[in-house]
């Protein structure tokens, strides 16, 4: 499944494109920027999603050293991408940088979005 996220550089809206029909996405009077997912953290520890499955529950944590979760710098959401769709969980400052997904099969990737450092991905 192809996944594309776009960012408005003015207001910081993030949009998931669910149907590729052509045209240009515009927000605040300007074209939105296609987000390029990053897969390797320079420090190797704070942004790459890490997943662990036990039975039918998968826990996704952001970073081998847990990502900060304060108002100025936090993980906004974590998503599981399967062959059939996307399942996303929203996070807020002061939440742990971790979510669980129950009973998902055919997961192909996990994404997370940091309000400062952007989109990160790990493929399975």
Q: Would the pTM count as exceeding 0.85?
A: yes
pLDDT tens track for 19-73:
989 899 999 999 999 999 998 866 557 899 999 999 999 999 999 899 999 999 9
> Greater confidence, 85 or 1?
85
Taking a C-beta distance cutoff of 8 angstroms, is the pair 73, 63 a contact? no
Return the pLDDT at 46. Answer: 85
Answer positive or negative: Cα dihedral of 101, 41, 109, 15. Answer: positive
In CATH, which superfamily holds the domain spanning 1-35? Answer: Desulphoferrodoxin, N-terminal domain (2.20.28.100)
Q: Looking at the domain that runs over 37-123, which CATH code has it been given?
A: 2.60.40.730
DSSP character at residue 67: P
- Domain boundaries defined on the chain: 1-35, 37-123
Q: Compute the distance between CA of residue 74 and CA of residue 42 in angstroms, rounded to an integer.
A: 18
């Amino acid at each position: 499944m192809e996944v594309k996220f776009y960012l408005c550089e003015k207001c910081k809206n993030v949009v998931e494109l669910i149907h590729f029909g052509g045209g240009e996405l515009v927000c605040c009077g300007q074209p939105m920027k296609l987000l390029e997912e990053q897969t390797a953290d320079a420090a190797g520890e704070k942004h790459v999603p890490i997943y662990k499955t036990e039975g039918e529950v998968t826990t996704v944590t952001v970073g081998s050293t847990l990502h900060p979760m304060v108002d100025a710098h936090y993980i906004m959401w974590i998503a599981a991408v399967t062959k059939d769709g996307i399942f996303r969980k929203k996070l807020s400052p002061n939440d742990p940088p971790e979510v669980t997904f129950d009973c998902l099969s055919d997961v192909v990737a996990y994404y997370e979005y940091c309000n400062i450092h952007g989109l990160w991905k790990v493929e399975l």
